[in-house]
A and B are shown apart, each in its own frame.
Chain A
Amino acid sequence: KNQVEQSPQSLIILEGKNCTLQCNYTVSPFSNLRWYKQDTGRGPVSLTIMTFSENTKSNGRYTATLDADTKQSSLHITASQLSDSASYICVVSNKAPGGTSYGKLTFGQGTILTVHP
């Protein structure tokens, strides 16, 4: 069964500090992994997408890593800001099996990050 597990469930840090969120998956065959940020009262917004051959991808202060061998990804946030307070969702897509034209997305339950001043 395809699954995506995120840890921790929630995290509280002080403004200016760094943090790392984890995502472990059992999705197979793997196609790509995307991190979303969901602010309170809004829909998720994509931060990064990584394919099998990519180890690292950055988007400003957000850096995602992927280890396809161990099926783990992390999202590192540098010099956190109050606006980083949100839920971060890891989403993994599998490759389309023969006979269909699209893969399936498996969502993690999200990590709720709170940044305090």
Chain B
Amino acid sequence: ETGVTQTPRHLVMGMTNKKSLKCEQHLGHNAMYWYKQSAKKPLELMFVYNFKEQTENNSVPSRFSPECPNSSHLFLHLHTLQPEDSALYLCASSQDQLSSYNEQFFGPGTRLTVL
């Protein structure tokens, strides 16, 4: 295991539902990331938190709302999603965002299906 856990592993929701994805890292890292992975497309960076401060929002629609209460936990709150939001959502962590040499450790992902 990579030391990064994500729950739930699978989620099916309707377009009017509100749900949250949770990520927890046990590596003592200070940077955490949310990615979207769609079939046959490169990973898309959504949000970055460095020392609990949001440092990147990659033009993500407001129906996705991140929350980082501390350096070990990261949430992604979902509301009024669209079917095209169905994808694998990956969480990652790294020592910090100060060096691109820092390896990112990924969780197993949450497979999200929006009906």
Let me know if B59 is at the binding interface, CB within 8 A: no
Pair B106/A109 contact, Cβ less than 8 Å? no
B contact residues, total (Cβ < 8 Å): 20
Pair A102/B98 contact, Cβ less than 8 Å? yes
Bound Cα distance from A31 to B101, whole angstroms: 8
Pair B108/A101 contact, Cβ less than 8 Å? no
Bound Cα distance from A32 to B103, whole angstroms: 11
Let me know if B71 is at the binding interface, CB within 8 A: no
Residues in chain B near residue A32, CB distance under 8 A: 100-101
Interface of B is mostly: loop
User: Considering residues A43, A104, A105, which has the most beta carbons from chain B within 10 angstroms of its beta carbon?
Assistant: A43
A9-41 toward B: CB 8 Å interface, digit per residue (1/0)?
100000000000000000000011010000001
Bound Cα distance from A11 to B47, whole angstroms: 32
Bound Cα distance from A49 to B102, whole angstroms: 10
Bound Cα distance from A102 to B101, whole angstroms: 10
Q: Whose C-beta in chain A lies nearest to the C-beta of B102? A: A102
A31 and B92 in contact, given A109-B40, A109-B41 (Cβ under 8 angstroms): no
Residues in chain B near residue A104, CB distance under 8 A: 100
Let me know if A46 is at the binding interface, CB within 8 A: yes
Residues in chain B near residue A43, CB distance under 8 A: 2, 4, 90, 92, 106-109
Bound Cα distance from A109 to B42, whole angstroms: 4
Cβ of B33 to closest chain A Cβ, rounded Å: 9
Q: Whose C-beta in chain B lies nearest to the C-beta of A46? A: B103
Let me know if A4 is at the binding interface, CB within 8 A: yes
Let me know if B115 is at the binding interface, CB within 8 A: no
Bound Cα distance from A51 to B2, whole angstroms: 24
Pair A89/B43 contact, Cβ less than 8 Å? yes
Bound Cα distance from A107 to B58, whole angstroms: 14
Residues in chain A near residue B103, CB distance under 8 A: 34, 46, 49
**Cβ contacts A to B, 25 pairs, < 8 Å:** A9-B40, A31-B100, A31-B101, A32-B100, A32-B101, A41-B108, A43-B4, A43-B92, A44-B43, A44-B90, A45-B2, A45-B106, A46-B104, A49-B101, A49-B103, A51-B101, A89-B43, A93-B101, A94-B100, A101-B98, A103-B100, A104-B100, A105-B100, A106-B42, A109-B41
